[in-house]
Chain A
């Protein structure tokens, strides 16, 4: 309907209407960045680099959420999937002394948690909100029980500068001098975007999330597609968990996810269920976290609790402002009953 009104317009007007806000926003961001960069290159670089890193678990969580929801399965268990993977990844590294095996352990754990969610929501046809909550509570229980005080790992995943690219002014430090999982997150954004919108797999996934009956009729295995996407999403959430322990902090603390799995859901919604949109939204959330840290460094006298709650307040504001303006996959949350 919208597209029809647009297509009657001349090209430049069409472009302006469709992408005007986005282009404007991009320009504003670019100009402010450059302004701050010329005023104080070091702080600006530091803020933007930490923006990218803060955004990593959020965008990974959002990718997990949107894979599931595009296939028709609501996943509010991202938080638990992340927590569990962060823990297992940490344990594996502590035992094997290998950060990489830890990452693999985290990803596999995430996939396993995804499998559990898929089993509950696709096979058992449990209410998906309850299924996700079960996962969150189980993760808190298990990680709390098996947590051993004093267990430690040596070091964490280090930044890998990408050759000469890392020496570019501004963008070098921000995009081309990151630790591996942060790179992986950026790559995954484009991969998932491509897979969802330009491949047969993506078409089937979306079909299963929009109209499972129709997909079933033309021979798409609804259950398989839902299982596969939720498990893949779980693996991605697992990567986010591994990021927390093995790349960001270097140790495990109880309930260390601190709501990131839920903020990721807001990021997903803010990004209108597209990976690229989610990336933009995650960067925005990341930026506010980075600015927070700077504010605290600068010694501004605001109680830390108020600064600490900014992401949560923002999540609510984003939800309040964007729900209802985003089109949710039609069969989201509805178990599919074969006839």
Chain B
């Protein structure tokens, strides 16, 4: 792949703000368009009307204030899981375990939420949030430590830890932490106290506001602090980082801890803002969506926000689509998978839309360290 001669007008220095934005979003945008087109073809083949389906999808996501609120509500945990994946990505780590970290976060937040009574909201809400983040952080530390000390690749260990997390939280919700109130037969925890719930103000969930603040915080850490510099250096070239005196092992574990904390906080927000308790099966898939969102957002902490809103909108609108156009909700998963494919395979997208590469991009390789110490 030749980058070609760089046109002086768009050379790095004179690049305007708008052009910069354009270069950041052109590939994801094109990927979304391609995915929607192929989704339309699948809809046609399975006998549905794609235009009707997409219109219903859009109405269900943005058609009213309630719809918009639902979209933001769905987007909230996705911003967190997307951030978790994107953040780890910067250090060259592929955290597929956001799912498990999120589950523990959701579970611990629920436990703090229903287990402690009589606290004012101003203390109870952040306490449960921090508890969730801490649980996620500890669970994220495991694959980090395994990678550093044994060389086990985080992709497999985090996926295994996801299954383990599903089992343990399922056990807790159907055993020790089960809602024992009369009439409940489901495996789920009691409802959390009102003082631990995160409210919405004028259809905007406060959890979403928190998600945006966290995105900005992570952006600041990555681009403006020494820690962020260390993380990015380790991601680009661990050997160079070691040579430059960066503690690579420490950085890797710390990155996984923070990534886990983000995912855990996402779980906590979901418990405190939406579900109101922990119930197995309610949070499945949010962690995996984080991968798509991180890549759609070009692994940028701020890019994660629009990506999460997009995926959240698709989730929010899916029911409307099912209702209006009689299309199975799961088509949304197919379109999402296609988006992931096209952002990952940006070469195809560039070919189709004739988009030229904008200079040298930071390229992170995840397959380094596969099977080696």
Contact = CB atoms under 8 A, between A and B. Distances in A.
Interface of A: 74, 76, 120, 124-131, 133-134, 137-138, 140-142, 144-147, 258-259, 262-263, 265-266, 269, 303, 305-306, 308-309, 312-313, 315-316, 319-321, 323-324, 326, 328, 332-334
A96 B175 CA distance: 45
27 contacts: A120-B344, A124-B347, A126-B347, A127-B364, A127-B365, A130-B366, A137-B337, A141-B330, A141-B333, A141-B336, A144-B330, A145-B330, A258-B163, A262-B159, A262-B160, A269-B371, A305-B167, A305-B174, A312-B163, A315-B156, A316-B146, A321-B150, A323-B371, A323-B373, A332-B370, A333-B367, A333-B370
Contacts of B367: 74, 127-129, 332-334
Nearest to B285: A140
B150 A319 contact: yes
Contacts of B156: 76, 262, 265-266, 315, 319
Given A144-B333, A262-B156, A319-B150, 14 more contacts: A120-B344, A126-B344, A129-B94, A133-B155, A137-B292, A138-B340, A147-B330, A305-B168, A316-B146, A320-B157, A323-B151, A323-B373, A332-B370, A333-B370
**Which 7 residue pairs are nearest across A and B when measured between Cβ atoms?**
A333-B367, A328-B371, A141-B333, A319-B152, A141-B337, A324-B373, A145-B330
Contact of B150 (A127, A138, A142, A324): A324
Contact of A76 (B152, B155, B175): B155
Contact of A324 (B170, B171, B174, B372): B372
Contact of B170 (A76, A130, A262, A305): A305
Contact of A145 (B161, B334, B344, B365): B334
Contacts of A263: 160
A189 to B, nearest CB: 21
Contacts of A144: 330, 333-334
A324 B367 CA distance: 15
A265 B170 CA distance: 26
A71 to B, nearest CB: 14
B197 interface: no
A305 B365 CA distance: 36
A138 B288 CA distance: 12
B345 interface: yes
Nearest to A145: B330
Contacts of B288: 137, 140
Interface in B120-171: 146, 150-153, 155-157, 159-161, 163-164, 167-168, 170-171
Given A134-B337, A266-B156, A126 B372 contact: no
A320 B167 contact: no
Nearest to B171: A305
Contacts of A74: 367, 370
Given A141-B334, A144-B330, A303 B365 contact: no
Given A142-B334, A269-B371, A259 B345 contact: no
Interface residues of B, number: 51
B219 interface: no
Contacts of B330: 141, 144-145, 147
A145 B333 contact: yes
A259 B163 contact: yes
A-side interface mostly: helix
B51 interface: no
B167 A316 contact: no
B337 A306 contact: no
B348 interface: yes
Contacts of A328: 370-372
Contacts of B333: 140-141, 144-145
A87 B63 CA distance: 36
A140 B341 CA distance: 13
B216 interface: no
A124 B350 CA distance: 12
B349 to A, nearest CB: 11
A266 B146 CA distance: 14
Contact of B153 (A133, A146, A319, A334): A319
B252 interface: no
A308 to B, nearest CB: 5
A39 to B, nearest CB: 32
A258 to B, nearest CB: 7
A127 to B, nearest CB: 5
A259 B159 contact: yes
B24 to A, nearest CB: 19
A315 B371 contact: no
Contacts of A316: 146, 152, 157, 160-161
Contact of A309 (B150, B167, B341): B167
A252 B129 CA distance: 39
B331 interface: yes
B168 A127 contact: no
Interface in B323-338: 328, 330-331, 333-338
Contacts of B170: 305
Given A74-B370, A134-B344, A309 B151 contact: no
B111 interface: no
Contacts of A130: 94, 295, 344, 366
Nearest to A73: B367
A258 B371 CA distance: 23
Interface string B218-260: 0000000000000000000000000000000000000000000
A78 B292 CA distance: 19
A142 B330 CA distance: 8
B20 to A, nearest CB: 25
Contacts of A308: 167
A74 B340 CA distance: 19
Contacts of A146: 46
A320 B345 contact: no
B268 interface: no
Contact of B171 (A76, A124, A147, A306): A306
Contacts of B32: none
B66 interface: no
Contacts of A134: 337, 340-341, 344-345
